[in-house]
A and B are shown apart, each in its own frame.
Chain A
Amino acid sequence: MAEQRVHYIHRLSYSARERLVGVFVLVALAVVFGLIFINSRTSHLFEERISYHAYLKNAQGVSTESVVKISGIEVGRVSSIDIAADNRVHLELFVYKRFQNLLRADSRGALSKLSVLGKAVIDISAGSVSAPLLPEGATLHIEEPKSLDELMADLTPVLEKVTRIVDGVATLVEAVEPGDVTTTSREMARTLESMRAISEQIASGKGAVGQAVFSREVERQVGGSLASLESVLRKADQRLAEMAPLLANAGAITDEGRTTTKELSGLVVEAKDLVNQMNTAMGTVNVELQQLPELVSRMKLLMDSTDRTLQGMQRIWPLSAAVPADGEETLIEAQPRND
């Protein structure tokens, strides 16, 4: 009777079997990790690419990982960054050939508003069908968003003008002597007092109004009042003469203010644009934030799955020998008191 052959696995010791399984698991793991590592780089490995160039003054947020989009679709990436002869930043970017039809002579690129936040995306508008295709190696025109420094530089002259206006107003206020104002107002008060006395005389009913008006006493009072009034008017005239250059200066300041206001309106428009851009950026961020709960749930599932996988792996040699037994105790051990 022929000896029954036993599968070699049954002749191996338990430890050897554990080792064998361990080797297979480790090899499989190495393959999986290797695939994960190269997956991102090889997902478009066999796709044909078309290269283009672009020049920027400020490539803030742009890296060789930056994505190129046409009409919101990811179509390529920035492949290299260097400095051109004119000191501008030279970007070489590629677009997968199947998207080349979207790139036409009238296509325009723009650096995303998020570049300030460090996540730049080059968004290119799809060209019109009637325009010719953009040939390989052509240079794309890319609009750059204003940097914070540039915005600050725009605001600086306006702030300087505002400062000058405030200084002019301060000079004007300083030129008016508080003492003169007090004297003038006191004299005006006296004049008014005199006029009130005349009114009282008239109202007293002594004789006819004409007589009262032409009586010597009244005449003297009226004369005094007129003299006071004349004096006040002379002083007011003198003050006005003193203020004339200041008023002329105020005119110039007003003109300057008007010019500044015009510039301000331009700036307001720019600020409005900026706010709109910010709103767009925030909208993008919001969309990403809305996906966060789902992402967290997925992460939790993934973590649970990874946890189970790791627990399973810990039972396999050589990890079973290296990792100590699961110490997840759920009850505190009894211990002596420490009061």
Chain B
Amino acid sequence: MTRLWLLPLAAMLLAACVSAPEQRPAALLQGERILAMGVQSFRADDYANAATHFTQALGHYQGLDHQDGMLRARINLAETALAVGNGAAAERHLLAAAPLAEGAAAQRVQLLRSSVALQQGRYAAAVELLTPLLAGAHGSETLYRSALANRADAALLGGEAEAAAWVERYAAAVGGGADGFAARLHRFRAELARRAGEHAAAAAALEQALALYKALPDRPGTAATLEAWGELLAEQQQWEAAADRLERALHIRLWLLSRRHSAADLQRLAAVNEARGQPQRAAAQRRWAEIVAGDGRIDWGALQREVLPQ
């Protein structure tokens, strides 16, 4: 006797057993979708779109008085502002986020505030903000590593004697791997080697960092490595090679639409071009550096045509 009739019956029984997936309110799902789109844009280094999505998400969550959503949007906006070197905007979002943050989120806000302090050259303030994050138990491994990276950065930038120790502590936390943290470690080591006058070791470390960043790929990391390499070569008066690295870095910074970093690269390039006897190019680069550092509108196309001839 055929038992085929059991099939539809079994299907009905199974369908009855399957519970409907969890359904959250559409407004919350929409907010999450906007945030997720922003995170995707950020990961693709599309900061303009990321900022647009996060701003939209912030408005959306403010319209719902949803504290957690607002906090996430503010943190993401602060990250985006930092990525393009806009410390003032990052600080504004972090100040607004601080009262909403608790636990891990509060630590994240503190980490970002230390990044802002580092960007603004307030190394002591950065150290003060990082100390509680590095003491005692730490929740998120990524957050702890980032805090250590900032601490090592503060030690190097602030000229602390224990800079090498902080870098080694960071190295111990990072371990092996081939991610952005490992690449950052190579950059720290390159900086230590440069300060010790070991230019070859510094160049080798930068080369390793560059290889890792390019494999990811990580545009800001690549640009930062090229900038460090350009400065290293300039120190050795290898002007042509220095200009090459700095121009490559500038291309990336311009692509990222990062005003602060682009202005810094233009100033570095101007110094290199002056040293290699190209005062007209240097003058143009300084002029553009001033324009980019300002708040006015920038014709990025004209900048590229004038400063970075193809």
Contact = CB atoms under 8 A, between A and B. Distances in A.
A339 B118 contact: yes
A327 to B, nearest CB: 9
Q: Is the interface of B mostly helix, strand, loop or mixed?
A: helix
A328 B108 contact: no
B4 interface: no
A330 B142 contact: no
Interface bin, chain B: 35 or more
Interface in B135-177: 140, 142-143, 145-146, 149-150, 153
Contact of A336 (B75, B85, B119, B146): B146
Given A330-B35, A333-B142, A337-B149, A9 B13 contact: yes
A43 B76 CA distance: 52
B181 interface: yes
A253 to B, nearest CB: 56
A311 B184 contact: no
B163 to A, nearest CB: 15
A331 B21 contact: no
B10 A9 contact: yes
A93 B254 CA distance: 61
Interface in A280-339: 304, 308, 311-312, 315, 328-339
A37 interface: no
Contacts of B115: 337
Interface stretch (B189-197, B218-226, B236-244, B296-304): B218-226
A334 B21 contact: no
Contact of A331 (B11, B75, B224): B75
B71 to A, nearest CB: 9
Interface residues of A, number: 22
B255 to A, nearest CB: 14
Nearest to B221: A338
B39 interface: yes
Interface in B46-78: 72, 75-76
A67 B146 CA distance: 65
A328 B39 CA distance: 8
B123 interface: no
A24 interface: yes
B111 A334 contact: yes
A336 B149 contact: yes
A21 B36 CA distance: 30
Contacts of B23: 308
A336 B151 CA distance: 10
A338 B153 CA distance: 10
Contacts of A330: 32, 35-36, 39, 72
Nearest to B76: A332
B36 A337 contact: no
B284 to A, nearest CB: 25
Contact of B11 (A24, A315, A336): A24
Interface in A260-291: none
A304 B25 CA distance: 13
Interface of A: 9, 17, 20-21, 24, 304, 308, 311-312, 315, 328-339
Given A20-B14, A334-B145, 14 more contacts: A21-B18, A311-B21, A312-B21, A328-B33, A328-B36, A330-B35, A331-B75, A332-B39, A334-B108, A334-B142, A338-B184, A338-B218, A338-B224, A339-B118
What are the nearest 8 A-B pairs in CB distance?
A336-B149, A338-B220, A330-B35, A328-B36, A336-B184, A334-B146, A338-B224, A332-B79
26 contacts: A9-B13, A9-B14, A20-B10, A24-B11, A304-B26, A308-B21, A315-B21, A328-B36, A331-B35, A332-B75, A332-B79, A334-B108, A334-B111, A334-B142, A334-B143, A334-B146, A335-B180, A336-B145, A336-B149, A336-B153, A337-B115, A337-B118, A337-B119, A337-B150, A338-B224, A339-B118
